[in-house]
Amino acid sequence: MSKNKANLSIRDLRKTNVAFLAKCSRRYGEEKQVLWRRTVNAKYRGNPAAFFPTWTNNSQGRGVWKGVLKGVDTVKDGSKLEVKDGHSIEFWTEA
């Protein structure tokens, strides 16, 4: 069977990984009270009030956490923040 007729769809793993990490970063901002977010904040000393996960000295060398942090840029590039009453956003660190 020729390549054209085989119709194999092989995903670009780099793009798939970037999409997954961006999804994790987005979920971090949306799911404020879930167990996984509280666990991540406790382990890496994250800011529980922040929409996006943030880098701390304690998170250095942590492969998974570094990957999720890379997803933040992808989410920021494709998003816009809306400031309503200002209580749920840290302007200087998130805007």
Confidence at residue 1, expressed as pLDDT on a 0 to 100 scale: 47
Write out the two tokens for 51.
Answer: 């929409």
CA distance 28 to 68: 9
Q: Give domain status of residue 16, yes or no.
A: yes
- Name the nearest CA neighbour of 53 among 35, 84, 27: 27
Q: Give domain status of residue 76, yes or no.
A: no
Q: Give domain status of residue 35, yes or no.
A: yes
- Name the nearest CA neighbour of 55 among 77, 73, 82, 81: 73
Instruction: Give buried/exposed letters for 37-53 (b at 16+ CB in 10 A, else e).
Output: beebbeebebeeebbbb
Q: Give domain status of residue 17, yes or no.
A: yes
Q: Give domain status of residue 6, yes or no.
A: no
Count how many domains the chain has: 1
Q: Give domain status of residue 20, yes or no.
A: yes
Res. 35 pLDDT band, cuts 50 70 90: very high
Greater model confidence, 5 or 72: 72
Q: What is the pLDDT of residues 44-63, one digit of tens each?
A: 777 777 777 776 665 555 66
Q: What is the pLDDT of residues 56-93, one digit of tens each?
A: 665 555 666 777 777 777 777 776 666 777 666 665 55
Q: pTM of the entire structure?
A: 0.58
CA distance 11 to 26: 22
Domain span including residue 21: 11-50
Q: Give domain status of residue 25, yes or no.
A: yes
Q: Give domain status of residue 59, yes or no.
A: no
